Structure 1
Amino acid sequence: MENQNILCEIAEGVATVTVNRPGSLNALNSQVLGELECTLYKLEQDAAVSVVILTGAGEKAFVAGADIKEMAEMNSFEGHRFALQGQRVMLFMEKMTKPVIAAVNGYALGGGLELALACDVIYASDNAKLGFPEVTLGIIPGFGGTQNLARLIGPNRAKELIYSGRMINAQKALAWGVVNEVVAQAELAAKALDLAREIAKNGSLGVGYAKNAIVNGLNMTKEDGFRYESSLFGVLFATADQKEGMSAFVEKRKAQFQGK
């Protein structure tokens, strides 16, 4: 069935995925999460795609949060199931072999900030507002926000942001290490695309293994992380991409990677 809320365009190895509910500030409901999960799964299997850019339709919001109208009618079981659905999408993004770049254009609140935090790189427009307002609704972040934010910026600042429910602007998000860079809104799409194209030129196996090493290594001791890194390093020497990359360097030509 064709997506109603998710747009996807692919060009030059880069897939741009857009949450397309501008009338609701791109709020996440069960249907949107389902469509996003299916889209990301297809992109993970698509050999023509090396990098994914994730953004929201319109100029007001990346994703302004989860759909409160839908959540307001949920009981405890349904709320738990909704959280698990959102977490499944976030974890899949983190485990994808392909890097995901968030282009945060405007509000990234609640589930929207959780979506951005599940990406590998976050670029924000200068008018972006980020935060977790869940406690003002009597709940908590449910799509991994309490875990990912604390791991990214430390528990103290994460507690300040989550307990207060306040929003921070793009510059404070940059200072706190929530986002990688802040640019003018008119330049945001080009900024994300430039990085995506730069990544797409590299060996997709190498990039995917690097992501694997970083994401999984964060849950290991440093020594275990070193061992894990060395094992992935060794595996790559059995690939055609490693042979091509090093041959191209020695021969002073541009490498032609095949993802094999």
Structure 2
Amino acid sequence: MAMTEPTGVWERYQRVRAAVDAAAERAGRRPEDVTLLPVSKTKPVELVRELHAHGVTTFGENKVQEALGKHEQTTDLPDLRWAVIGHLQTNKARDVARFAAEFQALDSVKVARALEKRLQAEGRSLDVHLQVNSSGEESKFGLPPEEVPALAHELTAFDSLRVVGLMTLAAPGPDTAVVRACFERVRELQRRLLDDDRAAGSYTQLSMGMSGDFELAIECGSTCVRVGTAIFGERPPQNDYQHYWPER
């Protein structure tokens, strides 16, 4: 008998969480060491509230304005945290500094300077991941792996930015060997940075994997999987990459 596809957002979240846990166990890892980050882009804030009512407190958004809007609509939920996971233009740094708990797409000193200035003014600090372009696609933001250590060295000068790890998006498509290679490049870069005394931060976190590849990402060491569609339902196809890589 075929399994019924879950229809409610909480039911879908539970199914994904179970798949995350199973993938961690298959990889010989503890399920609690892998964070499931629900990404609510383009979806109504009511779904965020529904998951929060079940104890989910951290959500991801690709676009700053959408994250800010949802933050402002949920100020009655003081434990709710927002992770901005998409490319940041410097003119949006003030907004991120005001409300975000995490920024997972840092890829330049220019953006770091803008965030540092705004965070200092707000009297806040911010957890950040350095974004790695592990697939070499020109359409993607992020630094090539070989350029990441130089940025990591420069970030020692920024007191308000707490570098906690790396983030990447693997190449799209069904070829698991290609996807695995992307994740392994970032895992190897993590190893290098953990041994690099000049690099700012801890590099204990690897944000890798989305709805279509999170199980493979967990096998390759991911500590945070960013899942949108599998939890919140389908979106128009053009949104999938548009929200990560807006037109330059």
Taking structure 1 as the reference length, the TM-score comes to 0.30
Higher relative contact order (CA 8 A, sep 6+): 2
Q: Which has the larger radius of gyration?
A: 1
Taking structure 2 as the reference length, the TM-score comes to 0.31
